[in-house]
Structure 1
Amino acid sequence: MQRFFQVRFFRAAIACLLLVISACAARSSDPSSSTGAPRYIFFFIGDGMGMAQISLGAAVCGEEAVSAIRSLPVTGMISTSARDRYVTGSAAAGTALATGSRTAIGRISRTADNASDLTTLLELAEEQGMRTGVVSSVSLDHATPACFYAHAESRHQYERIASMMAESSVDYFGGGYVKADMSVDGVAKNGFPEIMRSSGFRVTRNAEELQSVTPGERVWAFDDVDRKAAMAYEIDRSDSALSLADYTRHGIRLLDNPRGFFMMVEGGKIDWACHANDGATTALDVRAFNDAVAEALRFYREHPDETLIIVTADHECGGLGLGNNETGYEGDPALLSYQQLSLERMSGKVSSWAEDGGVSLAMAYDSLRVFFGLGRVSADSALGLTAADSLQLNRAYQEAMDGYRDGEAYGKGDPLTMTAAALLNSRAGIGWTTRSHTAVDVPVFAAGTGAGQFSGYSTNSGLARRLMQVCGWSE
């Protein structure tokens, strides 16, 4: 009998040991449960990107367009309000994410009363000897990227912010130009690149030049930029122009070192597309942002125990809804794939029509078929135009021609472009409540070392504080 109990005890002990080993193995393979401080940190911010924008990206471009973001195993939500306003702005929201402290509208990593600077995550990473990078599809002196390396009383102090960019210890800047160095007519003055060179940065202007940079060199990389010093929308980007994913991949190559790195990557033009209520352009910029996240995931798979990836947003923009009263349950967001250029680019074309005076109403309709699919019933019956639609477009065409000839400066787009976009959005079954930001909560996705700390609900500033705790950094 004693031998029987000894055998049973031995078998039970072996079974317990196997269970422990199995649990440890499962834990080590779970990217959300790694222990210790991460050595490589990716902080992705989809400016203006709520859950609806992510869903729209999948509906228009296919599930693969958001697969990297959705593959991150840890999910959460954060609130976005500023200290002094319910619906936040990018400066206050960026400051909260960059510093762990909420502030007032317009501040760039400064306290709400403008009494003092707030230490940023990037600065804390530099104190640990990590290399740092800032990548954005908008100008690098714009609110969100600026919040990680600069301190200013107002986001509109572009010259001050640009000077802090040159004086910073950041190792890699990529993507946009600087608004501070643009003339009033949107032409680069080309004075700031020399300032950056004198500060020890190598300045590259195309893919070949960026490829020639070696790790350890400090660099500011950009190529084609628009009148606002930003990268082109993904829908308008030329094949030769660097993408957000390209800048992210080069950032990894240049920043990788034994001490680790911290890189913030912003999909800033998601927000701009949402301000314009441009559904197709929004979807493609979400896809471009996802492709950048995919670059981080490739690196993570090579360094699974040392890497942390966080993907979030500073706020939602546009009040995007996937569904509207016109289509009810029959909406098809994939119809937006017939749009071939951004509303901004289309407005430029309409402006040139008015200036040249050689584009008739019939020719304008031909362009709408090509660039928006409107009237192409052979492709999809939902693209057909009713008599009421044609009346709207006729009036919008004449208003745009007259307006441009009279010197009208249309903000988000001329009447013809905006009418065409509204018709396509309506048929696609999407809707917008505003051309501004909203206060809805936004998602958080995470993977890697310490990722489990980012599940559940938090404030935007709380997310940054959690990151400080995971890394062992003091605030």
Structure 2
Amino acid sequence: MAVSRRKFISGSGLVAASVAAFPHIARPADAAATRSGQKPSKIIHLVADGMSLATLSMADQLAHLSRKRGLAWLNLHRRAGAHHGLMDMRSLSSLVTDSSAASSSWGSGSRIVNGTVNILPDGRELTTLYELFGQAGWKRGLVTTTEITHATPAGFATKGLKREAAESIATQYLDRGVEVLLGGGRKFFDKTKRKDKRDVYTEYRVKDYALLNESADLAAAPLDKRWLGTFAASHLPFTVDHTHDTKLAKSIPTLAAMTQRALEKLARHERFILQVEGGRVDHGCHMNDAAAAFFDQIAFDEALEVCLEFQRQHADTLLVITTDHSTGNPGLNGTGLRYGLSPLLFSNLLEVKASFSEILKKLSPPEERDKKPEPVTDPAKIAAIIKEAIGYEITPRRAKLLVPFIKKEGEPIYNLMNTLTCQLGQLMANYTGVGWTSGAHTSDYVPISAIGPGAERFAGFIQNTDVFRHYTNLAGIDFRNPESPLVGAVSPDSGILSPHWMA
């Protein structure tokens, strides 16, 4: 157990290193002391995608176990000058938002229909935050653990699309000239993978972008060029997989490492805005995979620590930390006599060596060009695969319950649990104590915290669209997008409903 813990926290040296990484401007010891009414020249917007308050709570509890300290986000609640609130994230079409509508509400100041990016139902395209900030001379960055073309980064810079239009999002970033792009999604830039065979990488290179493919490239990236870093074909790996795979750990940067380098580059300019997304928290919650979600939340917190150190040294920085919605609504349940078993079960998360995503690859191997592998249906083999990844011994009788879902023939009592990963989550709840309500998003109001010039605007109970207005106002930009009235309901044949598994 000690070895895996050390592996997990080995990247936390970035936080200490970041103290010396931002020497650009001499500032007071604590930037929280900024006077009310001051305006920022630097804005950092951090998003833990899919995080509920329960996810935040359990990640903090797990952080105490795995690295002997809690989360910086919660410590911020004890810090003078920080402000905290709740935010209503509903979309135009539902009380339950998806990530594209959520990010677009911040990125345009208008609520839109789920599944779209900065466009109203009547076809009117919305002017994005990054268009306005670019026109005003601000440098812009997007950093994520998902595909860089995914919903949350796209909502700040692109428009007129469905969220699935990743290839178009890739070219819109180029049209906007976004200075820093770091994440996954290589397949949407590579001419051999794109449907239109367009050589987007070459187009970026011609526009003076440095193309970054692995950690070493990021470390050596020239500060005088714009950056396009795509470190995986799709999403970056879950932290729990990254930690236990030496090849991944060496080649793919952490969110904290990407964030630190982005700040080192952007800090050379007087004004910038940066979005940092811990996007795979959401994916872990969709899968009902407690270890994947909570360790990614801790990794997000390490990126937050880098930003807090930057903000401490640069008093003109507004730092905003939030989430776009909750997913799965997990909870650590009271187990055993007087709930005394709960801490012991929860500590079993420290034994996990692989995400549910990796388990799926073994239980139901993906189809290959010339063959279709058979799924694993032998209960003893299923139990062995799970034990190797999770560290838990399950009985063949319990393993047998998964077989219909492996074969995609399962009949759950609750329809929103009709996936193999949700069934794995239910099974694993017996060993971790962590239960789930579904594999879908939920309507919770979300936490938001802020520190720095303008932070007081984010206190209390606010609406998602307020974020756009606060950012533009603080930047001296006078602009308002059109809005549409809320849609009471959406029919199944309207063409705008999406599957419940929406990152």
- Aligned with 1:452: secondary structure? helix
1:55-88 Cα offsets, whole Å, 9 max, x none, are: 1212223276752222333211101111121111
User: Which residue, out of 32, 40, 43, partners 2:42?
Assistant: 40
**Equivalent residue, structure 1, for 2:19:** none
* Corresponding pairs, count: 425
User: Which residue, out of 466, 476, 481, partners 1:462?
Assistant: 466
1:219-243 Cα offsets, whole Å, 9 max, x none, are: 10132x25xx111111111221211
User: Which residue, out of 43, 60, 70, partners 1:58?
Assistant: 60
**Equivalent residue, structure 2, for 1:374:** 392
1:141-194 Cα offsets, whole Å, 9 max, x none, are: 211111111112321222322221221221110012255357999999894322
Contact 1:182 1:188 in 2 (8 A): no
Query: Are 1:249 and 2:260 an aligned pair?
Result: yes
Contact 1:338 1:373 in 2 (8 A): yes
Query: Following superposition of structure 1 onto structure 2, how do residues 47-196 of structure 1 map, counting pairs within 5 Å?
Result: 47-62=49-64, 67-72=71-76, 73-120=82-129, 122-178=130-186, 180-181=188-189, 191-196=199-204
Q: 1:418 to 1:451 in 2, by over 3 A?
A: closer
**Equivalent residue, structure 1, for 2:456:** 452
**Equivalent residue, structure 2, for 1:280:** 291
Q: 1:187 to 1:116 in 2, by over 3 A?
A: closer
Query: Are 1:268 and 2:286 an aligned pair?
Result: no
CA–CA separation in structure 2 for the residues paired with 1:275 and 1:163:
28
CA–CA separation in structure 1 for the residues paired with 2:163 and 2:328:
21
1:21-53 Cα offsets, whole Å, 9 max, x none, are: xxxxx9986447554211121001111112111
**Equivalent residue, structure 1, for 2:321:** 311
Contact 2:85 2:461 in 1 (8 A): yes
User: Which residue, out of 314, 339, 347, partners 2:352?
Assistant: 339
- Aligned with 1:170: secondary structure? coil
| Deviation (angstroms), 1:118 | 2.7
CA–CA separation in structure 2 for the residues paired with 1:243 and 1:52:
24
Contact 2:139 2:269 in 1 (8 A): no
TM-score after normalising by structure 1 = 0.80
Q: Which runs of 5+ in 1 are unaligned?
A: 1-25, 376-384, 405-410
Amino acid paired to 2:164? H
Larger Rg: 1
1:424-463 Cα offsets, whole Å, 9 max, x none, are: 2233222211211111001001111221221111011113
**Equivalent residue, structure 2, for 1:14:** none
- Aligned with 1:38: secondary structure? coil
| Deviation (angstroms), 1:341 | 0.8
1:101-128 Cα offsets, whole Å, 9 max, x none, are: 21222221223432132331x2332233
Q: 1:162 to 1:421 in 2, by over 3 A?
A: same
Contact 2:376 2:382 in 1 (8 A): no
Q: 1:66 to 1:316 in 2, by over 3 A?
A: farther
More helix per residue:
1
The share of aligned pairs that are identical, in percent, is 24
**Equivalent residue, structure 1, for 2:9:** none
- Aligned with 2:111: secondary structure? coil
CA–CA separation in structure 2 for the residues paired with 1:35 and 1:342:
46
CA–CA separation in structure 2 for the residues paired with 1:82 and 1:326:
40
Query: Are 1:235 and 2:240 an aligned pair?
Result: yes
CA RMSD of aligned residues (A): 3.3
- Aligned with 2:240: secondary structure? coil
Q: Which is worse superposed, 390-399 or 197-206?
A: 390-399
Q: 1:160 to 1:471 in 2, by over 3 A?
A: same
Contact 2:150 2:163 in 1 (8 A): yes
Contact 1:276 1:435 in 2 (8 A): yes
Amino acid paired to 2:325? H
CA–CA separation in structure 2 for the residues paired with 1:457 and 1:300:
24
Amino acid paired to 1:435? G
- Aligned with 1:111: secondary structure? coil
Q: 1:132 to 1:58 in 2, by over 3 A?
A: same
- Aligned with 2:402: secondary structure? helix
1:323-368 Cα offsets, whole Å, 9 max, x none, are: 2689983423322222211101111122359948999654543443
Contact 1:138 1:269 in 2 (8 A): yes
**Equivalent residue, structure 2, for 1:19:** none
Amino acid paired to 2:360? S
Contact 1:152 1:161 in 2 (8 A): no
Amino acid paired to 2:224? G
Q: 1:318 to 1:187 in 2, by over 3 A?
A: farther
CA–CA separation in structure 2 for the residues paired with 1:390 and 1:277:
21
Contact 1:60 1:335 in 2 (8 A): no
